[in-house]
Each structure stands twice: as C-alpha cells, then as structure tokens.
Structure 1
Amino acid sequence: MELSGVSKHVLLCNGASCTKKGAEEVTNAIRQEIKDQGLLKEIHTTKTLCNGRCKEGPTVIVYPDGDWYKEMTPEKGQQLIEKLKSNQKLKDSLSYTFNGHSFSTNE
C-alpha cells in the first residue's frame, strides 16, 4: 500500500471493552466516511487492540496530532472525518484524564 500522501493516521480501538460499546460500528462509519469524502489517499486507518482507556471507549486516536477522542459513536466518527478534511478538531470529544490530571485540547 502506498502511504506517501497520507497526512493523518487514525487508530481505531477494537479491544474487548470498546467493541462491547460499539467500536465496530464506529470503525465502519469512519472508514465509510473516509471513502465517501474521497480521502482514502490522505487518511489511513488501523484497527488496534486495547489502547488502555477502556472506561472511556470506544476511543479513536489521530496522529500526527496526538488527539485522543473518547466515547465515540458512528455519528461522532463521521463528524471527526469532516473536521479532519479541513484540518480541524472535533471539539466536544477531546478531553482526557491522565494520572489524575484533567487535560483538554478544546479551543
């Protein structure tokens, strides 16, 4: 697979906990939206196993931005791809707590 034009890599958690919460549907919705938007050469996806945020799943991680999206739904996944198309962030899903510290990249 040629990846030279890829600008975003989307990691889709499909670990056991996320799968129970709808990760497969999120994965399918995101991949379909990428296809529908004609972004197959710009956005690459990878299904992962556990990303370690089980209570907040399904999770989606976007690189190289390093943004972690929690509690994703198929609808939020479609919105995320719309935002990535114009190099924006999905603002309402971007907060996480790591080691007791709350972080948010909402602008």
Structure 2
Amino acid sequence: MKVRPYDAHVLLCGGGDCKKRGSKEVRKVLKAELRAAGLNRDVRVDSVDCLGFCKHGPNAVVYGPNGHGGTWYLGLDEGKVPEVVSAHLKEGRPAGHLAAEYRPRKGAS
C-alpha cells in the first residue's frame, strides 16, 4: 500500500483536557487557515487521543516530510494558529516564540 506524501503532518491533541480548552475550535481554524493559504492538500491534520502536557493544552506537534522535525506547540488557541500556518507550514520555519523550547537530555553535553 502506498501512502500519499505530505509537506507536513500536524498532530493535534483531542484529549479531554485539550477539548475543554478549545482544541476543536483550534482544529477548525487550522483547517480554514490551511485552505486559505492553499496548503490543505500539502499538510495533513490528525487529532490524537493525548499528547501529554495536558495542563498546557491545546497542544500540537508539527512534523515535516517523512516525519522529520517534531516541533511542539503548547497552549494553542485560535489566535495563534495563523502564525503557525504562516511561519511553520507555509515558510517552513517554526513559529519562534510559539514553539516549545527543548530542554537538554540528562547526561547530554
């Protein structure tokens, strides 16, 4: 079976805490922004049961082609979605101040 390639894949949390904080509305705005930008066929959006970080939701992870990247966005709301679409999904660079920072792994130099 062959799978259609996408330029990006967005996993959006649809767990209980994120739903209470507006993940359904975030998804609607995300899909509308992708359509408006002409990216709806290039970016796949899927809701998942839980991404963790529940108290910071709604949360999403954006992966590039072939699963590369993995940029986390915590505490998304409808007002932040256009910047994520414009910067990350259209221009290919994480939306700076909206992207979660990574902390070093234990034992990593």
- With normalisation by structure 1, the TM-score equals 0.83
Counterpart of 2:107? Answer: none
Unaligned runs of 5+ in 2: 105-109
The runs of 4+ residues in structure 1 deviating greater than 4 Å are: none
Gaps of 5+ in 1: none
Q: Paired residue for 1:89?
A: 94
State, as a whole percentage, how many aligned pairs show the same letter: 29
What residue in structure 2 maps to residue 9 of structure 1? 9
Deviations 1:43-94 (A, max 9, x none): 1100111111101110010013100100001121121011120111111122
Equivalent residue, structure 1, for 2:61? 61
Determine the C-alpha separation between the residues in 1 that align with 2:83 and 2:61.
14
Q: C-alpha root-mean-square deviation of aligned residues, in Å?
A: 1.9
TM-score of the pair, normalised by structure 2? 0.81
Matching residue of 1:46: 46
Contact 2:71 / 2:100 at 8 angstroms: preserved in 1? no
Larger Rg: 2
